[in-house]
């Protein structure tokens, strides 16, 4: 099942389900967003499935996916956690060994933007970079869960672009400002429920910049699996439904290419994760 947030003709954010090239409005569940639905628990998700099955019988009540204006996938009060150096090849291109435990940092929910939205380039940055990432969405509270129990806490999976201003990062000697500029959290295009992803550790991931593939790997190369990340973080912080953990980027970032590649106005990025979809965004002037 593919769940997304989109804008109605009246400009209101609504919950939808994608089936083929059509989107079905699921506000009949009583929930107006993916995050709201997840906070409703298993019963809410079951209700969404039942409503989708009913709506599939009346395709005239759906809208073309191509005409949909996507809305941000997370709630304003959701927590978005990212992981550094979680692919061995990315650690190597930074001349670092793979970490012995996950390196977490955060993105503000306020910088999350949807599929096909534009990303502004900060006026004072000359080194805006891309990072293709596979992300998980929490579906039930996770408090000190074991790795064995962690998968049951994952509602589904999505895609994130951990856009980063490298010059800010290195000037500040930490990651917060360089990772949290306006629009630096593209996410989507939807969340695929966990039951539709048989093996989250066997998915190809790639990033294309203006049609050229600059990153390509597979989630089997993650140093720490989604379950390990959920378990580790939950030992010190209770994860809530709708929170997101983005699992890190593989090698091929612009900063380490020769010559270096930084994003400029008009650039278009497509991040594709097998079984999830394609997240597309472009750079604003």
Gap between the Cα atoms of 209 and 262, Å rounded: 10
**Confidence (pLDDT) at 154:** 98
Residue 12 burial (C-beta neighbours within 10 Å; 0-12, 13-18, 19+)? exposed
User: For 116-241, where are the alpha helices, taking DSSP H only?
Assistant: 147-150, 166-172, 176-179, 226-234
Q: Are 187 and 34 in contact (CB under 8 A)?
A: no
**Confidence (pLDDT) at 138:** 98
**Confidence (pLDDT) at 238:** 98
Q: Length of the chain in residues, anyone?
A: 285
Bridge partners of 208?
Answer: 213, 270
Residue 41 Ramachandran class (φ > 0 left, ψ -120 to 50 alpha, else beta): left
Domain boundaries, the chain: 2-67, 80-283
Contacts 24+ apart (CB under 8 A), 54-60: 55/17, 55/24, 55/25, 55/26, 56/19, 56/24, 59/22
**Confidence (pLDDT) at 217:** 97
User: Which segments within the chain are labelled E, that is strand?
Assistant: 2-7, 13-19, 22-25, 63-64, 80-84, 103-107, 112-113, 118-119, 128-129, 132-138, 154-161, 164-165, 185-193, 204-209, 212-218, 244-246, 268-273, 277-283
Gap between the Cα atoms of 38 and 241, Å rounded: 6
Gap between the Cα atoms of 122 and 111, Å rounded: 13
- The CA–CA distances, whole Å, from 96 to 176, 219, 222 equal 20, 20, 15
Query: Mapping DSSP to helix (H, G, I), strand (E, B) and coil, where does residue 159 land?
Result: strand
Query: Mapping DSSP to helix (H, G, I), strand (E, B) and coil, where does residue 44 land?
Result: helix
Q: Are 31 and 16 in contact (CB under 8 A)?
A: no
Gap between the Cα atoms of 203 and 199, Å rounded: 8
Paired sense of beta strands 132-138 and 13-19, if any: unpaired
Gap between the Cα atoms of 235 and 101, Å rounded: 13
**Confidence (pLDDT) at 59:** 87
Bridge partners of 4?
Answer: 16
CATH code linked to domain 80-283 = 3.90.850.10
Q: Are 26 and 52 in contact (CB under 8 A)?
A: yes
Cα pseudo-dihedral 202, 208, 214, 218, rounded to 10: 0
Q: What is the pLDDT along the chain (285 residues), one digit of tens a residue?
A: 999 999 999 999 999 999 999 999 999 999 999 999 999 999 999 999 999 999 999 888 899 999 999 999 999 999 999 999 999 889 889 888 989 999 999 999 999 999 999 999 999 999 999 999 999 999 999 999 999 999 999 999 999 999 999 999 999 999 999 999 999 999 999 999 999 999 999 999 999 999 999 999 999 999 999 999 999 999 999 999 999 999 999 999 999 999 999 999 999 999 999 999 999 999 997
């Amino acid at each position: 099942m593919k769940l997304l947030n989109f804008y109605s003709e009246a400009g209101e954010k609504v919950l939808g389900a994608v089936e083929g090239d059509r989107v079905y409005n699921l506000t009949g569940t009583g929930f107006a967003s993916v995050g709201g639905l997840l906070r409703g628990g298993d019963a809410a998700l079951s209700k969404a499935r039942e409503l989708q099955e009913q709506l599939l019988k009346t395709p005239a009540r759906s809208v073309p996916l191509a005409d949909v204006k996507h809305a941000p996938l997370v709630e304003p009060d959701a927590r978005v956690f990212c992981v550094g150096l979680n692919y061995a090849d990315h650690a190597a291109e930074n001349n670092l060994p793979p970490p012995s435990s996950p390196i977490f940092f955060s993105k503000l929910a306020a910088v999350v933007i949807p599929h096909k939205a534009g990303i502004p380039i900060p006026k004072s940055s000359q080194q805006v970079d891309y990072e293709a990432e596979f992300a998980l969405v929490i579906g039930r509270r996770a408090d000190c869960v074991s790795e064995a129990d962690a998968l049951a806490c994952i509602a589904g999976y999505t895609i994130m672009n951990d856009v980063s201003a490298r010059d800010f990062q290195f000037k500040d000697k930490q990651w917060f400002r360089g990772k949290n500029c306006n629009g630096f959290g593209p996410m989507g295009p939807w969340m695929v429920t966990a039951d539709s992803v048989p093996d989250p550790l066997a998915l190809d991931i790639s990033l294309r910049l203006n049609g050229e593939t600059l990153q390509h790997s597979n989630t089997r190369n993650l140093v720490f699996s989604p379950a390990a990340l959920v378990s580790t973080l939950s030992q010190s912080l209770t994860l809530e439904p709708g929170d997101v953990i983005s699992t890190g980027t593989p090698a091929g970032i612009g900063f380490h290419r020769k010559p270096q590649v930084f994003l400029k106005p008009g650039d278009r990025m497509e991040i594709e994760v097998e079984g999830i979809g394609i997240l597309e965004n472009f750079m604003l002037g």
